[in-house]
Structure 1
Amino acid sequence: MKMKKLTLSLCCLTLAACNSMPTSGPSQSRVMDLQNQNTENLPTVEVVEVEDNVATALFNQQQAQSFSHFANANSYNGAVNVGDTLDVMIWEAAPAVLFGGVLNQSGTGGAQLTSLPEQMVSESGKITIPFLGAISVRGKTPEQIQKDIVRRLSPMANQPQAMVRLVKNNSANVTVLRQGNSIRMPLTAHGERVLDAVAAVGGATENTYDISVQLTRGSEVKTISLEKLASNPTENIKLRSGDVISLLNNPLSFTALGAVGSNREVRFSAKGLTLAEAIGRMGGLIDTRSDPRGVFVFRYLPFEKLNAQDKATWQGRGYGVGMDVPTVYRINLLEPKSLFWLQRFPIQNKDIVYVSNAPLAEFQKFLRIIFSITSPVTSTANSINNLSD
């Protein structure tokens, strides 16, 4: 009788401890309940069910980072602007009237090549030419300036010729930034491209696996991997004046947690990673433990990247510029279409990919605890009964 009471007491204690059994993380239902919690200690969390529209929207957002999506802009054609330095040479055929050398017996000079001092285009867009005064050169190519000078000198000089050369291009350049080395690269009529800027700064000195190239044009900023830029000609677009190219060395990683083959931090290249590839790299789901309905991606979304409607919603919850919105994406792998969604869902730096335990796995864990405790008790009771006999 006493042994029965002891056994019953142990079972009761075990049942009481059921709720405190160690697990690898919250269950699928507990994660889904995050969106319904309104406590002061926990932030409001957006739980998004991944389906066709969500996967397509996230995929399109990533594709929008392509440099080829920049609006077509007129490339630099060699036109002169304020601040540029020009070299002007004028030649007059014999008998030279305006630019001749020593006068001959007829009172005219021989043929002469006259090189004027280098001049910087003034704020008003002009340079000064002898006998012509200030002439406007802003917005004109060197060839157009040459023709303009010859046309205006023709009534005064004998068969004048002019040569105009752009010595220093100060008005049309791009800025190239790299850790330890930054330059201003002047543009030419050749039409420099993004890879020309990367080469001009010395290329990537670190592992190209981690290098991203960021192009800032006006108010638009797009970032792609150096690997993608080098392998896809459509990304190597022509530069325009004022562009800023930055070479970023940012090792990317996500963290794998829960019922997966390996709980660890996983690095990936700047080229990017899909959720399908991420699951493969973390060893897949554990068949005996994982809940295929509970595959989650935990992510902070910058407030600035939300659409207007979502911004208004989160502003009402106290969020604003400079803050990050906690978001959870959930994928149900029991849905056959989810295998397509996995291939379009992009992983971002510092994401947490979590797979919850199946309810049955928790129950089996409970049974193992029960039997590990009661088995020795049962054995002891049998031994006592045998002695009493």
Structure 2
Amino acid sequence: MIKKYLFPLSFCTLLMACNAMPTSGPSQSSIMGLQNESSTLPVVNVVEIDDNITTTLFNQQQAQSFSQFPQTGRNYFGTVNSGDMLDVMIWEAPPAVLFGSVLNQSGTGSSQLTSLPEQMVSEAGKITIPFLGAVHVRGKTPEQIQREIVNRLKPMANQPQAMVRLVKNNSANVTVLRQGNSIRMPLTAHGERVLDAVAAVGGVSENAEDISVQLTRGSQVKTISLETLAANPQENIVLRSGDVVSLLNNPLSFTALGAVGANKQVKFSAKGLTLAEAIGRMGGLIDTRSDPRGIFVFRYLPFDSLSLTQQNFWASRGYSKGMDVPTVYRMNLLEPKSMFWLQRFPIQNRDIVYVSNAPLAEFQKFLRIIFSISSPVTSTVNSVNNL
């Protein structure tokens, strides 16, 4: 009877001992079971990584490109608008009869230069010129304003000439923000670009790898790394009036946990990192411990960043605007296509990359402890027998 129940009892004892063994984190099955828990918050979104998920996340990252801004509206071409300061100068050929001085004894007069005080374009888009009155200038370039002034003076003045100069551009400018220094950069007809704004604010003094450039245009906000902006000319787009360029010094990092070469916080540049690169920086997987089916990325997704369909789904589970949805992405490295998915799955700031232990890893750990205890006893007995 003792022998009959000895094996089952021993087996149960082993299983209980394995469950009581120290471990580096939850098992693959317990993480996957999060999606089956009750509807009480927080409900965890468990996502299997496949072609669709990888493509969606990769495209979302690519959408941050400055070149993806809609080509609506128009760039600045040097036109005048309300609030701009203009400098107007008028010449009249001799004899200057309108702007000139009194005629001399021979009945002739010298040419005359008349420099008008600087004027601010009114809210109605007009400036005032002597003998002409109000001149509408809004939406016109300085060259167009010059021609209009000359054409209107010809019936009154002797061969008039005019020069109009935009002294201060108050209506078309870009706000450039950097820690410790911010400026308003006026635009010119040259067509300033994003890197011109970076240079105008004095560039960056920190490590360029940690600098992100954020461009706000209307209601859209996109962010790329300074490295990407400098390396890809198509990202260095022409700025428009009202744009806001922000230089962000935000070192990025993720945390590596579980059956990996080193449990640590890993920093990466603003240029970004893929899951394949992340695993490499963690020191790879531990062959004797890791479960290749249990590569997990833990991440909070802002409710507002989800699609409308996803928002409706998670709203039914108690989430709302301003909340974050805890999400777990699972990668199965036994799937051959996973080698491609690893190269396109983007790591985000403050992610946790966790590798679960293999099912037999805890059992192997238990056996090592048993043998480490029994080995000294066996060694002692052998020594006594050899005496």
Q: Is 1:240 equivalent to 2:240 in the alignment?
A: yes
Cα separation, 1, equivalents of 2:183 and 2:15: 70
TM-score by length of 2: 0.92
How is 1:313-328 mapped onto 2 (pairs within 5 angstroms)? Answer: 313-328=313-328
In the alignment of these two chains, the number of paired residues is 378
Cα separation, 2, equivalents of 1:15 and 1:229: 56
Q: Is 1:58 equivalent to 2:62 in the alignment?
A: no
Q: Is 1:174 equivalent to 2:166 in the alignment?
A: no
Number of the residue aligned with 1:165: 165
How is 1:220-299 mapped onto 2 (pairs within 5 angstroms)? Answer: 220-299=220-299
Comparing 232-241 with 9-18, greater Cα deviation is found at 9-18
Shift of 1:363: 1.8
CA 1:193–1:231 in structure 2 vs 1: closer, same or farther (change >3 Å)?
Answer: same
Q: Which amino acid aligns with 2:342?
A: L
Identity rate of aligned residues, in percent? Answer: 79
Comparing 188-197 with 97-106, greater Cα deviation is found at 97-106
Q: Which amino acid aligns with 2:134?
A: A
Cα separation, 2, equivalents of 1:379 and 1:170: 89
SS of 1:359 mapped into structure 2: coil
Shift of 1:10: 9.6
Number of the residue aligned with 1:216: 216
Shift of 1:37: 1.0
Shift of 1:372: 4.4
- Check the 8 A contact 1:10/1:374 in 2, yes or no: no
Cα separation, 2, equivalents of 1:107 and 1:99: 16
Q: Which amino acid aligns with 1:246?
A: S
**Gapped runs of 5+ residues in structure 1?**
1-7
TM-score by length of 1: 0.92
Number of the residue aligned with 2:5: none
How is 1:346-361 mapped onto 2 (pairs within 5 angstroms)? Answer: 346-361=346-361
Deviation sequence 1:335-372 (CA, Å, 0-9, x none): 01000000000000000000000101122123234444
Q: Which amino acid aligns with 2:37?
A: Q
Shift of 1:108: 6.4
Deviation sequence 1:246-268 (CA, Å, 0-9, x none): 00000100000000011000000
Q: Which amino acid aligns with 1:168?
A: K
Cα separation, 2, equivalents of 1:12 and 1:279: 36
SS of 1:343 mapped into structure 2: coil
- Check the 8 A contact 1:255/1:266 in 2, yes or no: yes
Cα separation, 2, equivalents of 1:121 and 1:322: 44
Number of the residue aligned with 1:5: none
Deviation sequence 1:235-291 (CA, Å, 0-9, x none): 111101000000000010000000001100000000000000000000101111100
Q: Which amino acid aligns with 2:58?
A: F
Shift of 1:292: 0.3
Shift of 1:98: 0.9
How is 1:40-189 mapped onto 2 (pairs within 5 angstroms)? Answer: 40=40, 43-72=42-71, 73-105=73-105, 109-189=109-189
Shift of 1:294: 0.3
RMSD: 2.5
Cα separation, 2, equivalents of 1:185 and 1:166: 15
Shift of 1:74: 2.3
Comparing 178-187 with 110-119, greater Cα deviation is found at 110-119
SS of 2:360 mapped into structure 1: helix
Comparing 368-377 with 105-114, greater Cα deviation is found at 368-377
Deviation sequence 1:322-342 (CA, Å, 0-9, x none): 211100000100001000000
Number of the residue aligned with 2:332: 332
Cα separation, 2, equivalents of 1:191 and 1:89: 26
Cα separation, 1, equivalents of 2:200 and 2:343: 37
- Check the 8 A contact 2:39/2:317 in 1, yes or no: no
Shift of 1:106: 7.0
**Gapped runs of 5+ residues in structure 2?**
1-7
Cα separation, 2, equivalents of 1:164 and 1:16: 90
